[in-house]
Amino acid sequence: MLLIRDITRSDYSTVEELLHANDLGSGRPYERDGLDVVVAELHGSVIGVAEFKLRCNFGHDEGREAHPGEQTFILTLAVKDTARRSGVGRALLVEIARRSQETGSSFLALVPQEGENATRRQAFFRACGLTLYGPDTPGAAWGCPLSKLLNADATSLGT
């Protein structure tokens, strides 16, 4: 059974390898750097990771009116190649949405990684209910109300 949990120090080397395999690694030993981090674990192995800030004013303070102000912002989402298309990425997003809702936020945002496979990444986020907000330019933010993610999850579970 898939388990979404907080990262522990013993996960750092596995997360470092996972990020590197997804072209998201820094080349340095992994550190949380003050971020909130959850991992997806299956049969005792970490197969996914998400780094995020539960409370963030990304974009709004810079005068971008399309950005809704206080929100949860995902910086990194990575899933092991062999675990893709099995619900791991969506499960990570839903867990972040649940935690965000508990803090009083109502919106989740991210900026999909550019480059190779950008179209695939955007298709995944669209399938999860996120949409582009603001102009369609490189580095543009995507997001959605938390209720959209959480309601879609409840529907998929038949609850």
Kindly list the distances between the CA atom of residue 96 and the CA atoms of 64, 117, 119, 157, in Å, as whole numbers in the listed order.
24, 23, 23, 17
Average pLDDT over all residues of the chain? 85
Q: Is the pLDDT of residue 158 over 50?
A: no
Pairing of strands 71-79, 36-42: unpaired
- Dihedrals phi, psi of 47, to nearest 5 degrees: -120, 0
Write out the two tokens for 87.
Answer: 């619900």
Structural domains for the chain: 3-156 (3.40.630.30)
Tokens 């950008």, residue located:
118
DSSP state of 70: S
Is pLDDT larger for residue 155 or for residue 26? 26
Instruction: Check if the beta carbon of residue 134 is closer than 8 Å to that of residue 140.
Output: yes
**Band (133; pLDDT cuts 50, 70, 90):** confident
d(CA 34, CA 156): 33
Write out the two tokens for 77.
Answer: 């989402």
Percent of the chain having pLDDT more than 90?
Answer: 40
